[in-house]
Chain A
Amino acid sequence: MKKTLSEKEVIALTNRVLAESFEIEEERLLPEKRIFADLGLDSLDTVDLVVALQKRFSITIREDERVRSIRSLGDLYTYIMTVQQEQQAGTEG
């Protein structure tokens, strides 16, 4: 059974993914930052971000309503926390 990561660990790992994959300075990675408007990612970057997050957290991310509602980095942290808990419990949202 994989260990469920704490919120702090999820934030740190997510930020590392963004920094490594998209060369975004760590100081810009704040929860209120909007992923597209503030951090400069575009729709083509989304799939790379998904792949990197799936690999880093060993989770499966599907394109669903919850994903589509993500706007800010804080939304993304919350989503990853939820998905890792669901998938470790064997449930799907």
Chain B
Amino acid sequence: MSPNDWRCGRDFVFDSGEIAKTVARRGLLALEIEVDPGGDVREIWDVVGQAKALGARCVSIVGDEPMGHAEVLDLVSRICSLRMQVAMFTDGAGMSAEVARFLLANEVRVILRLASGRAGLRKQLTEPGGHCGGLPEAFRSLRDAGYPARNGVLGVSVIVGAENYAELPSFWRWLREEDLEPHFELPKAPVNGARSWQSPVRAHELHSMLRVLAESDRSFGGLEWLPQPPIAGSACVRNRVSCFVTASGSVMPCQGVRISIGSVREKSLAELLRESEILQDLRDFADTIRGPCVDCEQFGRCHGCRGTAFRLTGDYLASDPLCWRNADRQAEIECLPCGVAGVVPHQKPMRLVETLVSIGERNAVVELVVPEDGPFIAASGVLERAAYPEIVAQAAAAWNGFKSRRHDGLPRGYLLGIKRFRFDGAARAGDRLVVSLFKVARFGDFGIMEGKVSKGTHVLARGEIKVWHENPRQTQGRRFPSDRESVVSGVSAPPELPTG
């Protein structure tokens, strides 16, 4: 294996050609689906069928404990009948000898999840009677059934933390010796945890650990891989050719970027994938990601962890704050909410909007406090009605300006028209207003947005604006990923061990 080969386990390997084709047709190569005990198996089956039609050939079954679903084995059997590969992420519940044999017969990749925040990794897996539920019994059942085998990958998932940091290298080596696949990943930061959350493992510690693991693989089996986040032994590019479907039918880019792009209960998966601006941004990551990642020598084949970036900054296109390569450039990684001065061309007193709060699928939220005076304030201190369409237009400018931050200069934009504006109430100086934007449609550089201006729970004005704004991406040069890239197995996947 060379440093330029990127794999996702033995089978979940996609080459750059098929990735490029899949990106171009807005299709799938893999699907992550959440299976909860009460989940509707018909809906899951329907989603899998749609994913298959879109080109997916791998399904990762995830959830709190997917093995707790009464029909999960039937589901596995049916997915396999479509000639799709299955990866099952489990805590080991219900893993009897019979179930283990069934999974092996269907060539299911099984990934056992160790408890996070707890030391004694090997003990968790091998010693019954501890605090780890049925995990040791499940491990024994799987091994008795014949796992790991040529057609039966057995992986072990570990959340890296301060508690287990010291034992990770020896545990990794032991997993390799036992022909088990290590899946090491960082704990998920809380959403909007940018200013409060501290990773239990700092960036340089993660770097050191990955270097040790890479060296271990080099000496153990001649495996070569470049240490880079977010996962040990591989790069993650799942956002380009995969999606995650929750138990309630919401479709999201991945388990880390938990922004719903819509529901399979309302639209087909093909429609959702075709229409999602977030997915398109992630497919075009080399054009869209902002901050220091862009200057990294690995950029183009690595974009850090989108989930970590989203959770820590509120921006799914931010550079990965936990990558050690960005450790000295944290100030260049912008977080939401952020001030819009410098993001929009307007200056006070014409500029009314103040803060871009969040960006979602075709929507954004912006805030402002009504100023004491200025061209939009009447003598009575009331905000003039004419200001509301302007506020909505400025909010749209802030959204587009933020998304264009990577490029030089501010994008030009114009308000072309307003339609169906309705007013109900008035705002006064000092009132805090929230602007909710929804992009109804975009066609080239034209767009139609619905805007709603609220004070607390009361909607003061709502209506539609038509705007023109330039898209700097269309004029920028590009670098594309090359060679082979690993994509999806639900979490990280290390390179395979040589066989024979």
Contacts and interface: CB of A to CB of B under 8 A. Distances in A.
B4 to A, nearest CB: 30
Interface in B352-369: none
B25 A51 contact: no
A47 B441 contact: yes
Contacts of A63: 443-444
Contacts of B466: 44, 47-48
Interface in A47-93: 47-48, 50-51, 54, 58, 60-63, 87, 90-92
A47 B448 contact: yes
Nearest to B447: A47
Given A90-B53, A90-B270, A51 B24 contact: no
26 contacts: A44-B417, A44-B446, A44-B466, A46-B446, A47-B441, A47-B443, A47-B444, A47-B446, A47-B448, A47-B466, A48-B448, A48-B466, A50-B441, A50-B443, A51-B440, A54-B441, A58-B271, A60-B271, A60-B274, A60-B275, A62-B443, A63-B443, A63-B444, A87-B270, A87-B271, A92-B25
A69 to B, nearest CB: 14
Interface in B436-458: 440-441, 443-444, 446-448
Contacts of B24: 92
Nearest to B50: A90
A44 B271 CA distance: 26
Contacts of B13: none
B123 to A, nearest CB: 49
A21 to B, nearest CB: 11
Nearest to A91: B25
A51 B270 contact: no
DSSP class of B's interface residues: helix, strand, loop or mixed? Answer: mixed
Contacts, number: 42
A47 B447 CA distance: 7
Interface in A1-54: 44, 46-48, 50-51, 54
Interface in B52-108: 53-54
Nearest to A47: B446
A60 B441 CA distance: 10
A76 B356 CA distance: 39
Nearest to B267: A58
Interface of A: 44, 46-48, 50-51, 54, 58, 60-63, 87, 90-92
A90 B54 CA distance: 7
Nearest to A43: B446
Given A47-B443, A48-B448, A87 B416 contact: no
A48 B418 CA distance: 12
Given A44-B466, A87-B274, 8 more contacts: A47-B441, A48-B466, A51-B440, A51-B441, A63-B443, A91-B25, A92-B25, A92-B274
Contacts of A90: 27, 53-54, 270
Nearest to B54: A90
B26 interface: yes
B443 A44 contact: no
A38 to B, nearest CB: 21
Contacts of A60: 271, 274-275
A63 B417 CA distance: 21
A60 B444 CA distance: 13
